[in-house]
Chain A
Protein backbone atom coordinates (compact mmCIF):
# COMPACT_ATOMS: atom_id res chain seq x y z
CA UNK A 1 0.00 0.00 0.00
CA UNK A 2 1.13 3.41 -0.90
CA UNK A 3 0.66 6.47 1.25
CA UNK A 4 -0.63 8.58 -1.63
CA UNK A 5 -3.69 6.45 -2.28
CA UNK A 6 -6.73 7.74 -3.96
CA UNK A 7 -9.25 8.09 -1.15
CA UNK A 8 -12.25 9.12 -3.20
CA UNK A 9 -15.51 7.21 -3.00
CA UNK A 10 -15.52 5.06 -6.12
CA UNK A 11 -12.03 3.57 -5.79
CA UNK A 12 -12.80 2.84 -2.15
CA UNK A 13 -15.89 0.84 -3.11
CA UNK A 14 -14.34 -0.93 -6.07
CA UNK A 15 -11.20 -1.66 -4.10
CA UNK A 16 -12.99 -3.32 -1.21
CA UNK A 17 -12.75 -7.06 -0.72
CA UNK A 18 -15.48 -9.33 -2.06
CA UNK A 19 -17.41 -9.96 1.20
CA UNK A 20 -17.45 -6.24 1.92
CA UNK A 21 -18.67 -5.57 -1.59
CA UNK A 22 -21.38 -8.20 -1.16
CA UNK A 23 -22.48 -6.55 2.06
CA UNK A 24 -22.51 -3.18 0.34
CA UNK A 25 -24.58 -4.56 -2.53
CA UNK A 26 -27.05 -6.15 -0.15
CA UNK A 27 -27.37 -2.95 1.83
CA UNK A 28 -27.86 -0.91 -1.32
CA UNK A 29 -30.65 -3.25 -2.42
CA UNK A 30 -32.27 -3.22 1.00
CA UNK A 31 -32.03 0.54 1.15
CA UNK A 32 -33.59 0.93 -2.28
CA UNK A 33 -36.43 -1.42 -1.31
CA UNK A 34 -37.03 0.26 2.00
CA UNK A 35 -37.14 3.71 0.41
CA UNK A 36 -39.54 2.36 -2.18
CA UNK A 37 -41.80 1.04 0.56
CA UNK A 38 -41.45 4.28 2.49
CA UNK A 39 -42.79 6.28 -0.43
CA UNK A 40 -45.38 3.64 -1.28
CA UNK A 41 -46.71 3.65 2.29
CA UNK A 42 -46.59 7.39 2.46
CA UNK A 43 -48.84 7.67 -0.58
CA UNK A 44 -51.10 4.82 0.51
CA UNK A 45 -51.65 6.16 4.03
CA UNK A 46 -52.20 9.68 2.79
CA UNK A 47 -54.77 8.35 0.33
CA UNK A 48 -56.49 6.23 2.99
CA UNK A 49 -56.75 9.26 5.27
CA UNK A 50 -58.18 11.55 2.63
CA UNK A 51 -60.64 8.90 1.42
CA UNK A 52 -61.78 8.29 4.99
CA UNK A 53 -62.27 12.02 5.51
CA UNK A 54 -64.32 12.31 2.34
CA UNK A 55 -66.46 9.28 3.18
CA UNK A 56 -67.07 10.26 6.79
CA UNK A 57 -68.23 13.66 5.69
CA UNK A 58 -70.59 12.08 3.17
CA UNK A 59 -71.82 9.53 5.70
CA UNK A 60 -72.61 12.00 8.48
CA UNK A 61 -73.79 14.67 6.08
CA UNK A 62 -76.78 12.84 4.64
CA UNK A 63 -77.15 9.40 6.08
CA UNK A 64 -79.15 7.91 3.21
CA UNK A 65 -77.51 4.50 3.41
CA UNK A 66 -79.02 3.11 0.22
CA UNK A 67 -77.67 6.04 -1.82
CA UNK A 68 -74.22 5.76 -0.25
CA UNK A 69 -74.19 2.07 -1.12
CA UNK A 70 -75.24 2.86 -4.67
CA UNK A 71 -72.42 5.42 -4.93
CA UNK A 72 -69.99 2.77 -3.76
CA UNK A 73 -71.22 0.29 -6.37
CA UNK A 74 -70.89 2.97 -9.05
CA UNK A 75 -67.33 3.93 -8.17
CA UNK A 76 -65.81 0.78 -6.81
CA UNK A 77 -62.32 1.81 -7.95
CA UNK A 78 -62.23 5.11 -6.10
CA UNK A 79 -63.60 3.65 -2.85
CA UNK A 80 -61.50 3.92 0.28
CA UNK A 81 -61.11 1.46 3.17
CA UNK A 82 -63.84 3.01 5.24
CA UNK A 83 -66.26 2.91 2.34
CA UNK A 84 -65.52 -0.76 1.74
CA UNK A 85 -66.16 -1.54 5.39
CA UNK A 86 -69.43 0.30 5.20
CA UNK A 87 -70.42 -1.50 1.98
CA UNK A 88 -69.61 -4.92 3.39
CA UNK A 89 -71.67 -4.25 6.51
CA UNK A 90 -74.58 -2.69 4.64
CA UNK A 91 -74.84 -5.37 1.94
CA UNK A 92 -74.76 -8.11 4.59
CA UNK A 93 -77.36 -6.25 6.63
CA UNK A 94 -79.67 -5.88 3.61
CA UNK A 95 -79.27 -9.54 2.63
CA UNK A 96 -80.02 -10.77 6.13
CA UNK A 97 -82.94 -8.40 6.54
CA UNK A 98 -84.57 -9.93 3.46
CA UNK A 99 -84.74 -13.26 5.23
CA UNK A 100 -87.74 -12.73 7.45
CA UNK A 101 -86.96 -15.56 9.86
CA UNK A 102 -83.83 -13.82 11.26
CA UNK A 103 -84.19 -11.85 14.48
CA UNK A 104 -82.61 -8.43 14.80
CA UNK A 105 -79.61 -9.49 16.96
CA UNK A 106 -78.61 -12.19 14.48
CA UNK A 107 -78.79 -9.67 11.61
CA UNK A 108 -76.60 -7.24 13.56
CA UNK A 109 -74.12 -9.98 14.35
CA UNK A 110 -73.85 -10.94 10.69
CA UNK A 111 -73.34 -7.33 9.58
CA UNK A 112 -70.75 -6.85 12.32
CA UNK A 113 -68.85 -9.99 11.26
CA UNK A 114 -68.83 -8.89 7.63
CA UNK A 115 -67.48 -5.46 8.64
CA UNK A 116 -64.85 -7.02 10.91
CA UNK A 117 -63.63 -9.26 8.11
CA UNK A 118 -63.28 -6.34 5.71
CA UNK A 119 -61.64 -4.27 8.43
CA UNK A 120 -59.06 -7.01 9.01
CA UNK A 121 -58.28 -7.16 5.32
CA UNK A 122 -57.93 -3.40 5.07
CA UNK A 123 -55.67 -3.21 8.10
CA UNK A 124 -53.57 -6.02 6.72
CA UNK A 125 -53.09 -4.09 3.50
CA UNK A 126 -52.28 -0.87 5.32
CA UNK A 127 -49.77 -2.61 7.55
CA UNK A 128 -48.14 -4.57 4.74
CA UNK A 129 -44.40 -3.84 4.29
CA UNK A 130 -44.25 -2.18 7.69
CA UNK A 131 -42.60 -5.27 9.10
CA UNK A 132 -40.02 -5.05 6.34
CA UNK A 133 -39.21 -1.48 7.36
CA UNK A 134 -38.89 -2.61 10.99
CA UNK A 135 -36.56 -5.43 10.01
CA UNK A 136 -34.38 -3.12 7.89
CA UNK A 137 -34.25 -0.61 10.69
CA UNK A 138 -33.06 -3.12 13.24
CA UNK A 139 -30.88 -5.42 11.14
CA UNK A 140 -29.09 -3.34 8.53
CA UNK A 141 -26.74 -1.61 11.01
CA UNK A 142 -25.54 -5.05 12.03
CA UNK A 143 -25.08 -6.11 8.44
CA UNK A 144 -23.08 -2.96 7.78
CA UNK A 145 -21.09 -3.58 10.92
CA UNK A 146 -20.30 -7.09 9.70
CA UNK A 147 -18.89 -5.65 6.49
CA UNK A 148 -16.86 -3.14 8.44
CA UNK A 149 -15.45 -5.72 10.79
CA UNK A 150 -14.51 -7.89 7.85
CA UNK A 151 -12.84 -4.98 6.07
CA UNK A 152 -10.91 -3.95 9.15
CA UNK A 153 -9.79 -7.52 9.71
CA UNK A 154 -8.42 -7.48 6.18
CA UNK A 155 -6.75 -4.14 6.72
CA UNK A 156 -4.97 -5.37 9.82
CA UNK A 157 -4.03 -8.65 8.20
CA UNK A 158 -2.30 -6.67 5.44
CA UNK A 159 -0.55 -4.70 8.13
CA UNK A 160 1.19 -7.76 9.49
CA UNK A 161 3.37 -7.97 6.38
CA UNK A 162 4.69 -4.48 6.84
CA UNK A 163 7.62 -3.95 9.14
CA UNK A 164 6.94 -0.37 10.00
CA UNK A 165 3.25 0.16 10.56
CA UNK A 166 1.96 3.63 9.90
CA UNK A 167 -1.54 5.00 9.86
CA UNK A 168 -1.26 5.30 6.07
CA UNK A 169 -1.16 1.51 5.81
CA UNK A 170 -4.46 0.92 7.61
CA UNK A 171 -6.34 4.10 6.81
CA UNK A 172 -7.56 3.14 3.31
CA UNK A 173 -8.72 -0.28 4.48
CA UNK A 174 -10.60 1.18 7.41
CA UNK A 175 -12.10 3.91 5.24
CA UNK A 176 -13.43 1.40 2.75
CA UNK A 177 -14.71 -0.79 5.55
CA UNK A 178 -16.51 2.08 7.21
CA UNK A 179 -18.46 2.74 4.03
CA UNK A 180 -20.35 -0.47 4.80
CA UNK A 181 -21.40 0.88 8.20
CA UNK A 182 -22.38 4.18 6.61
CA UNK A 183 -24.57 2.36 4.12
CA UNK A 184 -26.14 0.27 6.86
CA UNK A 185 -26.99 3.38 8.84
CA UNK A 186 -28.24 5.11 5.74
CA UNK A 187 -30.63 2.24 5.18
CA UNK A 188 -31.63 1.90 8.84
CA UNK A 189 -32.31 5.45 9.98
CA UNK A 190 -35.05 6.33 7.49
CA UNK A 191 -36.54 2.88 7.87
CA UNK A 192 -36.84 3.28 11.65
CA UNK A 193 -38.27 6.78 11.37
CA UNK A 194 -40.73 5.70 8.69
CA UNK A 195 -41.74 2.60 10.64
CA UNK A 196 -42.54 4.58 13.76
CA UNK A 197 -44.43 7.18 11.80
CA UNK A 198 -46.45 4.70 9.78
CA UNK A 199 -47.15 2.45 12.75
CA UNK A 200 -48.70 5.44 14.53
CA UNK A 201 -50.62 6.42 11.41
CA UNK A 202 -52.04 2.94 10.84
CA UNK A 203 -53.00 2.51 14.49
CA UNK A 204 -54.84 5.82 14.34
CA UNK A 205 -56.58 4.76 11.15
CA UNK A 206 -57.45 1.44 12.75
CA UNK A 207 -59.04 3.09 15.79
CA UNK A 208 -60.90 5.39 13.44
CA UNK A 209 -62.22 2.42 11.49
CA UNK A 210 -63.24 0.63 14.68
CA UNK A 211 -65.13 3.59 16.05
CA UNK A 212 -66.85 3.98 12.70
CA UNK A 213 -67.86 0.33 12.80
CA UNK A 214 -69.43 0.82 16.25
CA UNK A 215 -71.26 3.91 15.18
CA UNK A 216 -72.42 2.32 11.96
CA UNK A 217 -73.71 -0.68 13.91
CA UNK A 218 -75.80 1.69 15.96
CA UNK A 219 -77.12 3.31 12.82
CA UNK A 220 -77.98 -0.10 11.37
CA UNK A 221 -79.71 -1.12 14.57
CA UNK A 222 -81.95 1.91 14.33
CA UNK A 223 -82.93 0.88 10.78
CA UNK A 224 -86.48 -0.37 10.51
Chain B
Protein backbone atom coordinates (compact mmCIF):
# COMPACT_ATOMS: atom_id res chain seq x y z
CA UNK B 1 0.00 0.00 0.00
CA UNK B 2 2.49 2.53 1.19
CA UNK B 3 5.34 1.35 -1.04
CA UNK B 4 2.95 1.31 -4.00
CA UNK B 5 2.18 4.91 -3.21
CA UNK B 6 5.84 5.75 -3.10
CA UNK B 7 6.48 4.09 -6.49
CA UNK B 8 3.51 5.86 -8.07
CA UNK B 9 5.55 8.70 -9.59
CA UNK B 10 7.71 6.13 -11.37
CA UNK B 11 4.83 4.45 -13.13
CA UNK B 12 4.88 6.74 -16.12
CA UNK B 13 8.63 6.88 -16.51
CA UNK B 14 8.85 3.11 -16.10
CA UNK B 15 6.23 2.63 -18.80
CA UNK B 16 8.02 5.04 -21.10
CA UNK B 17 11.30 3.22 -20.53
CA UNK B 18 9.65 -0.13 -21.24
CA UNK B 19 8.27 1.21 -24.52
CA UNK B 20 11.68 2.65 -25.33
CA UNK B 21 13.35 -0.73 -24.81
CA UNK B 22 10.84 -2.40 -27.12
CA UNK B 23 11.14 0.32 -29.71
CA UNK B 24 14.91 -0.04 -29.70
CA UNK B 25 14.67 -3.80 -29.94
CA UNK B 26 12.26 -3.72 -32.85
CA UNK B 27 14.34 -1.09 -34.59
CA UNK B 28 17.36 -3.32 -34.22
CA UNK B 29 15.45 -6.30 -35.56
CA UNK B 30 14.02 -4.30 -38.41
CA UNK B 31 17.33 -2.83 -39.42
CA UNK B 32 19.13 -6.15 -39.27
CA UNK B 33 16.38 -7.78 -41.30
CA UNK B 34 16.58 -4.97 -43.80
CA UNK B 35 20.19 -5.72 -44.32
CA UNK B 36 19.28 -9.21 -45.27
CA UNK B 37 16.66 -7.83 -47.62
CA UNK B 38 19.36 -7.01 -50.14
CA UNK B 39 19.38 -10.47 -51.64
CA UNK B 40 22.60 -12.10 -52.67
CA UNK B 41 21.91 -11.40 -56.30
CA UNK B 42 23.88 -13.77 -58.42
CA UNK B 43 24.99 -12.11 -61.59
CA UNK B 44 23.77 -13.96 -64.65
CA UNK B 45 25.76 -13.57 -67.78
CA UNK B 46 24.55 -15.06 -71.02
CA UNK B 47 27.23 -15.54 -73.58
CA UNK B 48 26.02 -15.13 -77.12
CA UNK B 49 27.87 -16.94 -79.82
CA UNK B 50 26.29 -14.91 -82.59
CA UNK B 51 24.55 -11.61 -82.29
CA UNK B 52 20.78 -11.84 -82.57
CA UNK B 53 18.81 -10.49 -85.53
CA UNK B 54 19.87 -6.91 -84.85
CA UNK B 55 21.69 -6.52 -88.16
CA UNK B 56 18.73 -7.88 -90.13
CA UNK B 57 16.58 -5.25 -88.53
CA UNK B 58 18.95 -2.42 -89.26
CA UNK B 59 19.10 -3.18 -92.95
CA UNK B 60 15.43 -2.21 -93.62
CA UNK B 61 15.97 0.96 -91.62
CA UNK B 62 18.25 2.26 -94.39
CA UNK B 63 15.57 1.42 -96.99
CA UNK B 64 13.60 4.74 -96.71
CA UNK B 65 15.87 6.30 -99.38
CA UNK B 66 13.94 4.86 -102.38
CA UNK B 67 10.64 5.91 -100.84
CA UNK B 68 11.61 9.56 -100.88
CA UNK B 69 12.25 9.52 -104.60
CA UNK B 70 8.61 9.75 -105.78
CA UNK B 71 8.21 13.08 -104.01
CA UNK B 72 10.63 15.10 -106.16
CA UNK B 73 8.78 13.72 -109.21
CA UNK B 74 5.73 15.83 -108.36
CA UNK B 75 6.91 19.35 -109.33
CA UNK B 76 7.44 18.66 -113.09
CA UNK B 77 3.83 17.54 -113.42
CA UNK B 78 2.50 20.65 -111.74
CA UNK B 79 4.61 22.88 -114.06
CA UNK B 80 3.45 21.11 -117.16
CA UNK B 81 -0.21 21.77 -116.59
CA UNK B 82 -0.11 25.58 -116.47
CA UNK B 83 2.19 25.62 -119.50
CA UNK B 84 -0.59 24.35 -121.74
CA UNK B 85 -3.22 27.16 -121.94
CA UNK B 86 -0.90 29.96 -123.21
CA UNK B 87 0.27 27.77 -126.07
CA UNK B 88 -3.33 26.99 -127.05
CA UNK B 89 -4.14 30.72 -127.02
CA UNK B 90 -1.29 31.50 -129.38
CA UNK B 91 -2.46 28.78 -131.72
CA UNK B 92 -6.00 30.19 -131.78
CA UNK B 93 -4.84 33.69 -132.71
CA UNK B 94 -2.94 32.49 -135.76
CA UNK B 95 -5.80 31.93 -138.23
CA UNK B 96 -3.75 30.79 -141.19
CA UNK B 97 -2.31 27.87 -139.49
CA UNK B 98 -5.51 27.29 -137.73
CA UNK B 99 -6.14 23.77 -138.84
CA UNK B 100 -2.54 22.69 -138.62
CA UNK B 101 -2.20 24.45 -135.38
CA UNK B 102 -5.39 22.89 -134.09
CA UNK B 103 -4.25 19.49 -135.11
CA UNK B 104 -0.82 20.04 -133.66
CA UNK B 105 -2.38 21.55 -130.55
CA UNK B 106 -4.73 18.60 -130.26
CA UNK B 107 -1.87 16.29 -130.86
CA UNK B 108 0.18 18.07 -128.28
CA UNK B 109 -2.76 18.10 -125.88
CA UNK B 110 -3.31 14.45 -126.40
CA UNK B 111 0.35 13.81 -125.98
CA UNK B 112 0.43 15.92 -122.88
CA UNK B 113 -2.61 14.18 -121.48
CA UNK B 114 -1.20 10.81 -122.21
CA UNK B 115 2.02 11.85 -120.64
CA UNK B 116 0.20 13.24 -117.64
CA UNK B 117 -1.85 10.09 -117.28
CA UNK B 118 1.24 8.02 -117.56
CA UNK B 119 2.94 10.10 -114.92
CA UNK B 120 -0.05 9.85 -112.66
CA UNK B 121 -0.15 6.12 -113.10
CA UNK B 122 3.51 5.98 -112.35
CA UNK B 123 2.96 8.20 -109.37
CA UNK B 124 0.15 6.06 -108.00
CA UNK B 125 2.15 2.98 -108.66
CA UNK B 126 5.15 4.40 -106.88
CA UNK B 127 3.10 5.51 -103.95
CA UNK B 128 1.47 2.11 -103.70
CA UNK B 129 4.88 0.54 -103.91
CA UNK B 130 6.20 2.83 -101.25
CA UNK B 131 3.24 2.09 -99.05
CA UNK B 132 3.57 -1.63 -99.44
CA UNK B 133 7.30 -1.31 -98.90
CA UNK B 134 6.69 0.62 -95.73
CA UNK B 135 4.16 -1.95 -94.61
CA UNK B 136 6.52 -4.75 -95.43
CA UNK B 137 9.23 -2.95 -93.60
CA UNK B 138 7.02 -2.54 -90.53
CA UNK B 139 6.04 -6.16 -90.63
CA UNK B 140 9.61 -7.19 -91.08
CA UNK B 141 10.62 -5.03 -88.20
CA UNK B 142 7.89 -6.42 -85.95
CA UNK B 143 8.77 -9.93 -86.97
CA UNK B 144 12.42 -9.21 -86.38
CA UNK B 145 11.67 -7.73 -82.98
CA UNK B 146 9.51 -10.71 -82.06
CA UNK B 147 12.19 -13.01 -83.39
CA UNK B 148 14.72 -11.20 -81.33
CA UNK B 149 12.63 -11.62 -78.18
CA UNK B 150 12.09 -15.29 -78.98
CA UNK B 151 15.79 -15.79 -79.60
CA UNK B 152 16.64 -13.92 -76.46
CA UNK B 153 14.32 -15.96 -74.27
CA UNK B 154 15.30 -19.24 -75.85
CA UNK B 155 18.87 -18.33 -75.10
CA UNK B 156 17.85 -17.42 -71.54
CA UNK B 157 16.04 -20.72 -71.13
CA UNK B 158 19.03 -22.62 -72.46
CA UNK B 159 21.35 -20.63 -70.21
CA UNK B 160 19.24 -21.33 -67.14
CA UNK B 161 19.06 -25.04 -67.93
CA UNK B 162 22.78 -25.08 -68.60
CA UNK B 163 23.40 -23.74 -65.13
CA UNK B 164 21.69 -26.76 -63.64
CA UNK B 165 23.50 -29.37 -65.70
CA UNK B 166 25.81 -31.46 -63.62
CA UNK B 167 28.28 -32.84 -66.09
CA UNK B 168 28.97 -36.50 -65.62
CA UNK B 169 32.64 -37.34 -65.77
CA UNK B 170 34.26 -38.32 -69.01
CA UNK B 171 31.84 -36.67 -71.39
CA UNK B 172 33.17 -35.70 -74.77
CA UNK B 173 32.56 -32.01 -75.38
CA UNK B 174 31.49 -32.56 -78.98
CA UNK B 175 28.30 -34.50 -78.33
CA UNK B 176 24.94 -32.78 -78.60
CA UNK B 177 21.61 -33.77 -77.05
CA UNK B 178 18.30 -32.41 -78.36
CA UNK B 179 15.18 -32.20 -76.26
CA UNK B 180 11.57 -31.45 -77.08
CA UNK B 181 10.27 -29.37 -74.21
CA UNK B 182 6.60 -28.55 -73.69
CA UNK B 183 6.04 -25.54 -71.50
CA UNK B 184 3.12 -24.22 -69.49
CA UNK B 185 2.40 -20.49 -69.41
CA UNK B 186 4.01 -20.12 -65.99
CA UNK B 187 7.29 -21.48 -67.23
CA UNK B 188 6.76 -24.93 -65.77
CA UNK B 189 7.89 -27.84 -67.84
CA UNK B 190 5.01 -30.05 -68.81
CA UNK B 191 7.08 -32.54 -70.65
CA UNK B 192 10.69 -32.90 -71.63
CA UNK B 193 11.49 -35.69 -73.97
CA UNK B 194 14.71 -36.68 -75.58
CA UNK B 195 14.49 -35.92 -79.29
CA UNK B 196 17.99 -36.85 -80.29
CA UNK B 197 20.30 -38.62 -77.95
CA UNK B 198 23.83 -37.37 -77.58
CA UNK B 199 25.03 -40.92 -77.47
CA UNK B 200 25.98 -40.57 -73.83
CA UNK B 201 23.12 -41.72 -71.64
CA UNK B 202 24.52 -40.09 -68.54
CA UNK B 203 24.66 -36.72 -70.28
CA UNK B 204 21.11 -37.12 -71.62
CA UNK B 205 19.87 -37.87 -68.13
CA UNK B 206 21.82 -34.95 -66.65
CA UNK B 207 20.27 -32.56 -69.17
CA UNK B 208 16.79 -33.89 -68.52
CA UNK B 209 17.26 -33.46 -64.79
CA UNK B 210 18.57 -29.97 -65.37
CA UNK B 211 15.54 -29.02 -67.46
CA UNK B 212 13.23 -30.16 -64.69
CA UNK B 213 15.33 -28.51 -62.03
CA UNK B 214 15.49 -25.20 -63.89
CA UNK B 215 11.73 -24.63 -63.62
CA UNK B 216 10.23 -22.13 -63.83
CA UNK B 217 11.95 -21.35 -67.10
CA UNK B 218 12.17 -17.69 -68.07
CA UNK B 219 9.42 -16.58 -70.44
CA UNK B 220 8.65 -13.16 -71.89
CA UNK B 221 6.10 -11.18 -69.88
CA UNK B 222 2.50 -12.30 -70.40
CA UNK B 223 1.44 -9.01 -72.01
CA UNK B 224 3.60 -9.75 -75.03
CA UNK B 225 1.31 -12.63 -75.96
CA UNK B 226 4.17 -14.63 -77.26
CA UNK B 227 3.67 -17.78 -75.29
CA UNK B 228 2.52 -19.72 -78.33
CA UNK B 229 6.00 -19.50 -79.71
CA UNK B 230 7.35 -21.11 -76.57
CA UNK B 231 4.79 -23.84 -76.10
CA UNK B 232 6.91 -26.42 -77.86
CA UNK B 233 10.61 -25.83 -77.90
CA UNK B 234 13.47 -27.81 -79.26
CA UNK B 235 16.52 -27.18 -77.16
CA UNK B 236 20.02 -28.33 -77.96
CA UNK B 237 22.65 -28.87 -75.36
CA UNK B 238 26.28 -29.67 -75.72
CA UNK B 239 28.87 -30.10 -72.95
CA UNK B 240 31.10 -27.65 -74.83
CA UNK B 241 28.66 -24.84 -74.06
CA UNK B 242 28.50 -25.54 -70.36
CA UNK B 243 31.90 -24.03 -69.87
CA UNK B 244 32.78 -26.58 -67.19
Contact = CB atoms under 8 A, between A and B. Distances in A.
Tell me which of A10, A39, A42, A84 has the highest count of chain B C-beta atoms within 10 A of its own C-beta. A39
A55 interface: no
B22 A43 contact: no
A145 interface: no
B171 interface: no
Contacts of A37: 14
A48 interface: yes
B170 interface: no
A85 B30 CA distance: 50
Tell me which of B3, B19, B36 has the highest count of chain A C-beta atoms within 10 A of its own C-beta. B3
Given A9-B30, A40-B7, A122-B3, A35 B37 contact: no
B36 A186 contact: no
Given A8-B33, A35-B22, A122 B14 contact: no
B13 interface: yes
A66 interface: no
Contact of A7 (B6, B15, B17, B37): B37
Contacts of A35: 17-18, 21-22
Given A32-B19, A35-B17, A39-B14, A7 B7 contact: no
A43 B7 contact: yes
A43 B30 contact: no
B96 interface: no
B14 A40 contact: yes
A40 B11 contact: yes
B18 to A, nearest CB: 4
Contacts of B6: 44, 47-48, 80
A36 interface: yes
Nearest to B5: A77
A9 B29 contact: yes
Interface residues of A, number: 30
A32 B22 CA distance: 7
B2 interface: yes
Give the bracket for the number of chain B residues in contact with chain A: 20 to 34
B4 interface: yes
B4 A128 contact: yes
A81 interface: yes
B17 A48 contact: no
A122 B7 CA distance: 12
Contacts of A125: 1-4
A10 to B, nearest CB: 8
Tell me which of A7, A38, A43, A84 has the highest count of chain B C-beta atoms within 10 A of its own C-beta. A43
A140 interface: no
Contacts of A39: 10, 13-15, 17-18
B129 to A, nearest CB: 52
Nearest to A10: B30
B7 to A, nearest CB: 4
Contacts of B25: 186
B217 to A, nearest CB: 14
A186 B6 CA distance: 29
Contacts of B37: 6-8
A116 B15 CA distance: 33
Given A84-B2, A125-B2, A43 B13 contact: yes
22 contacts: A4-B39, A6-B37, A7-B33, A8-B34, A8-B37, A9-B30, A9-B34, A32-B22, A35-B17, A37-B14, A39-B15, A39-B17, A43-B14, A44-B6, A44-B7, A47-B6, A80-B6, A81-B2, A121-B1, A122-B2, A125-B1, A128-B3
